[in-house]
Structure 1
Amino acid sequence: MTKYEKTVAMLEKKFSGNGIKLGLERILRAAERVGNPQSFFKSIIVAGTNGKGSVSAMLSSIMNNAGVKSGLYTSPHLFDIRERIRVEGKKIDKKRFLQIVNILENAGISDVTYFEFLTLLSFLFFKEREVESAVLEVGLGGRFDAVNIAESNICIITGIAVDHIQYLGNTIEKIAFEKAGVIRNRGIVISGKLSKKAYEVIEKECKKKSAKLLLWGRDFKIDSLVSNLRSSVFDYMSEDFICKNIKVPLAGEFQPYNASLAITAFLEFLRLNKKKKKGIEIESAIQKGLYSTKWRGRMERIKLKDIEILFDCAHNSNALKYITSYISKEIDKREVILIFGVLSDKDIPKMLSLLNIRGLKIIFTTPCNERAFSPYELKKVFDGDGVSTSVIANPFDAFKEASKKSASETLVCIAGSIYLVAPLLQFVDRLKKNDKSRKKLVKNFDFMNECVE
């Protein structure tokens, strides 16, 4: 193992016992020990149940194309922990990553969670690189999430649905209240589509803090949408700005919606910071920024020989409905095999109800995470009509079986937890490069050593 690989493994082992612990006391104490790096730049905080990562990536890309030096902090990562921390679109390099880990360790930063440690690492890196603004994706909730200690006057709430009920509450109102915790006094709030109950919570918090609320469908919208499995083209419209024929190279009808949130946040950033740019430059930054956005594992299509594979990190019921909608359209045209696995903290019955698509073939499997829900229990709980189900606990073997069964026109979908999508996406990437070393690929998943040949 390289020094970098050893350090990443050490961090995972060191903080694994801390789990998820909401609260700002630990991160505030730790930040003070290293000079409160989060106070050296302005941030845009992105909260919401789904779409946070895509919106964050789009916004950061637009800002970089506008000449605004932007940091980007997202989670979780697909393949490499450094994906979480970027400046001007580039991952933190391994050498600097190791150096900042040493800085934090020398400062005695140990009484924090894994997420809090990485958040602080990103703050130090952004301060060092003198970013003009950092786009910070909330890890969980908002009010007590580590990124919420950052200096911020703009926040995005992508949408609110029921998820993580053991941490955020079991009603829309309670979850909305937690996410509203990112709203600042006299700040700007850009909100996606909200239910009536969620809207009332967000509106109340905005009034309480004299914050400006910009609501999707009321203050800005998309029009003339044309979408397919490779990209989308749409027009953006607000009261004082129109941008036409915007192309987003990310699949899914929801991506233009995500893009509209990013565009609105960018426009508000320019207004707030009095960046005087001509309209054509703003439009160019939006067009180029969105067109160059890359966000893997979200309705991502890959052709492997004669098999079409569709990857989607649909980790909750709200996200899953998009890929199941697509499957419903395809099922009458060709065979569809779904490899599905999910974590135990999700609304399992609701997610399974979305998979009840007549003619679908489902292989239940195990995400590479200790919180994985048993695939045998998934099969037991699933109540489908005209759906073929089986269990192959090892995800690599599940993919192998689906590939063997596939006819030339078969669509193989891999959906559910990011901890299922990520290793299989990496596996397929390696297969495309003729690297069939499964041992190297799965070495970090100790509890799944049985899949090593």
Structure 2
Amino acid sequence: MLSYQETINYIHSFSKFHRTDSLENIKKALDQLGNPQNSYKTIHVTGTNGKGSTCNYLSNLLEATGKRVGMFTSPFIIKFNERIQINHKMISDDALVELVDRVRKVTDKIDLTEFEFVVILGFTYFKDKVDVAVIEVGIGAAHDKTNVILPDVSVITSIDMDHEKIIGPTLQDIAAEKSGIIKNDRPVVTGYLQPDVRNIVTKRAAEMHSQMFEFGKDFEICDFETSENQSVFDYIGKNVVIKGINCSSFEKTTAVNMSIAIRTFLAYQTINQEKVDLELVKDNLESHLILGRMQVVHKKPMIILDGAHNFSAIKNLINSLISNWEKKDIIIMYAGMKDKDRKDILNYLSERVNKVYVTTLDMNRSADVADYDFSVYNNVVFVKDYRNKLKEIENNLTEQQVLLVTGSFYLVSDLESFFS
């Protein structure tokens, strides 16, 4: 049997790219393993932004009812094992080693990508261990390798521009791909839908006879109020009102994601004819810390890690920072990927904050100095050694300043332990 590190190396030895949209290979592998994904209930979550946070909030609520809850997410922040969790406890090193050994003996002759293999690991690990699993898609939905399940509820947290080369190029293409998560006679919960894509989603829901619960139409948040680094809001649904929900973030999109999780939880409870305890909902949304998402690693002075990596996520994040700390200077350490809208992001950041430090990561996807035109900015500079620069910034940071590290979960992953 392989060691833990050899096991991780084996997982990473698979091709990382989608060869085809087909789900044939992963279905074949799962079939040979006895289709473990059919042995427990599932909730399937997609979205351009907010899906990871929504998975966490939803898992918290399901756990609070006494259920054993599996959670499959990506990417990981500190350790690979984070991607496969039961009741927010990640799979142990020994269990992962044994799981990979067991699965690869069955799937070794099937041509799989890394993500397909990891999905199979998650589905297999949850068998006989969970009552329900919250499954986050990788990219898109219709052709995503997780889309081999029949969930009790499907979720689309948001639809915006990202991964255009894979599921685009247009916003309408992305909406059509994400709408593929909607299943026949199963409800779907969505975040706010732009007019350009709403018809695509509602049409798919109608075709699939899927009851649709849309943020801003069927449920919403009201009386959103912020203080230094937290907020409170009310959840308003057609038949359910929950007042005074506390949120350890000042970002309004966090409250929106919480409301999506609440509506999804209510739909799941209704389908399964389970009683809903509204106080349980109010008290358990934030049972566990979410790494890399509005993660405050230092309060005085304020240092925040956030894996926002596309324009819409960055824009929401910066607007929230400015709204909450309008009198403070905001300093940013940013690392973007080559396949992201870096120019739009830097244009926006340079106009909205005091100083932006751009860096690069030791990976092929990461944008380097040659991928930017720094001549058009007077407050954006490139730094190669971001760790030393962050030490310098941290040592000189005052309480009238906020340091935000963002642009990539890979950067956040590297620096979470640095700040810890």
Distance 1:183 1:382, change over 3 A: farther
Query: Structure 1 CA distance, aligned partners of 2:215 and 2:307?
Result: 24
Query: Structure 1 CA distance, aligned partners of 2:168 and 2:353?
Result: 36
Query: Structure 1 CA distance, aligned partners of 2:288 and 2:241?
Result: 20
Distance 1:408 1:132, change over 3 A: closer
SS of the aligned residue for 1:285 comes to helix
- Structure 1 gaps of 5+ residues are 430-453
Q: For 1:391, which of 354, 367, 382 is the aligned residue?
A: 382
Query: 1:188-337 maps to which residues of 2 (within 5 A)?
Result: 188-228=187-227, 230-275=229-274, 277=275, 279=276, 282-303=277-298, 307-329=301-323, 333-337=327-331
Query: Structure 1 CA distance, aligned partners of 2:333 and 2:69?
Result: 37
- Identify the residue that residue 103 of structure 1 maps to in structure 2: 102
- Identify the residue that residue 115 of structure 2 maps to in structure 1: 115
Query: Structure 2 CA distance, aligned partners of 1:31 and 1:156?
Result: 23
Count residues with an aligned counterpart: 417
Q: For 1:346, which of 340, 346, 359 is the aligned residue?
A: 340
Which residue identity is paired with 1:361? K
Q: CA deviation at 1:331?
A: 7.8
Contact 1:341–1:375 (Cα < 8 Å) also in 2: no
Q: CA deviation at 1:42?
A: 1.7
Q: What is the percentage of aligned positions where both structures have the same residue? A: 29
Which residue identity is paired with 1:19? F
What is the CA deviation profile of residues 123-160 of structure 1, one whole-angstrom value per residue up to 9, with x for unaligned ones?
1111130x221110111000011111012131010010
Query: Structure 2 CA distance, aligned partners of 1:396 and 1:117?
Result: 33
Distance 1:286 1:81, change over 3 A: same
- Identify the residue that residue 34 of structure 2 maps to in structure 1: 35
- Identify the residue that residue 349 of structure 2 maps to in structure 1: 355
Distance 1:186 1:301, change over 3 A: same
Instruction: Give the number of the structure with larger relative contact order, counting CA–CA contacts within 8 Å between residues 6 or more apart.
Output: 2
Q: Does 1:166 align with 2:162?
A: no
Query: Structure 2 CA distance, aligned partners of 1:257 and 1:297?
Result: 18
Query: Structure 1 CA distance, aligned partners of 2:88 and 2:353?
Result: 42
Query: Structure 2 CA distance, aligned partners of 1:194 and 1:366?
Result: 33
Distance 1:31 1:382, change over 3 A: farther
Query: 1:370-409 maps to which residues of 2 (within 5 A)?
Result: 370-378=364-372, 380=373, 383-384=376-377, 387-407=378-398, 409=400
What is the CA deviation profile of residues 367-417 of structure 1, one whole-angstrom value per residue up to 9, with x for unaligned ones?
343200113433x16734xx4222112332332343355345432211101
SS of the aligned residue for 1:357 comes to helix
SS of the aligned residue for 2:161 comes to coil
Q: CA deviation at 1:191?
A: 0.8
SS of the aligned residue for 1:147 comes to coil
SS of the aligned residue for 1:29 comes to helix
Q: CA deviation at 1:98?
A: 0.9
Q: CA deviation at 1:186?
A: 1.1
Which residue identity is paired with 2:294? M
Contact 1:249–1:293 (Cα < 8 Å) also in 2: no
User: What TM-score, normalized by structure 1, do the two folds share?
Assistant: 0.87
- Identify the residue that residue 183 of structure 1 maps to in structure 2: 182
Distance 1:330 1:189, change over 3 A: closer
Which residue identity is paired with 2:172? E
User: What TM-score, normalized by structure 2, do the two folds share?
Assistant: 0.94
SS of the aligned residue for 2:97 comes to helix
Distance 1:410 1:230, change over 3 A: closer
Query: Structure 2 CA distance, aligned partners of 1:236 and 1:7?
Result: 44
Contact 1:368–1:420 (Cα < 8 Å) also in 2: no
- Alignment root-mean-square deviation, CA: 2.0
Query: Structure 1 CA distance, aligned partners of 2:11 and 2:106?
Result: 15
- Identify the residue that residue 401 of structure 2 maps to in structure 1: 410
Q: For 1:19, which of 17, 21, 30 is the aligned residue?
A: 17
Distance 1:293 1:358, change over 3 A: closer
Query: Structure 1 CA distance, aligned partners of 2:334 and 2:363?
Result: 14
Deviates more, 1:75-84 or 1:224-233: 224-233
- Identify the residue that residue 4 of structure 1 maps to in structure 2: 4
